Amino acid sequence: QVLMRHPDNHLALNNLAYHYFLREVQILQALDMAERAVALNRKDIYLDTLGYGYYLVGRHEEAKELFIEALTTASDDVIPEITGHLDLVRKALGEGAQE
């Protein structure tokens, strides 16, 4: 409902996109929402959401770049989640997880 009234609400775009990604539903719509959120505000958590979406659709190199960028500004409370997503991408790329 928030997005119907405020289609450029980056927090709502990001949160709904991540919700869809976690359930692996409406992936293409979620990618569009995540890309819009990042275009509006390049926050670490938004980069993580978009990176996770790219991971789900096999865009691993792009996902890796977003996770690395997100980690440069991430607060301590979100670093473990972003690092976990980065490890998934590195595994998919055959690189293995890194410390």
Given pLDDT bands bounded at 50, 70 and 90, which one contains residue 4? confident
**Residue 86 and residue 7: Cα distance in Å, rounded?**
29
Q: Where are the domains of the chain?
A: 2-92
Task: Answer yes or no: is pLDDT of 6 > 90.
Answer: no
- Give the torsion through C-alpha atoms of 55, 68, 19, 58, to 10 deg: -10
**Residue 84 and residue 89: Cα distance in Å, rounded?**
9
SS3 assignment, position 29: helix
- Residue 13 carries which side chain, given as an amino acid letter? L
**Residue 39 and residue 8: Cα distance in Å, rounded?**
10
**Residue 66 and residue 35: Cα distance in Å, rounded?**
11
Which tens digit of pLDDT belongs to each residue from 50-70? Answer: 999 999 999 999 999 999 999
- The pTM of the full predicted model, rounded to 2 decimals, is 0.91
pLDDT for residue 98: 60
- Among residues 83, 9, 80, 13, the alpha carbon closest in space to that of 21 is found at 13
Which tens digit of pLDDT belongs to each residue from 16-42? Answer: 999 999 999 999 999 999 999 999 999
The answer to whether domain 2-92 has CATH 1.25.40.10 is yes
pLDDT for residue 7: 78
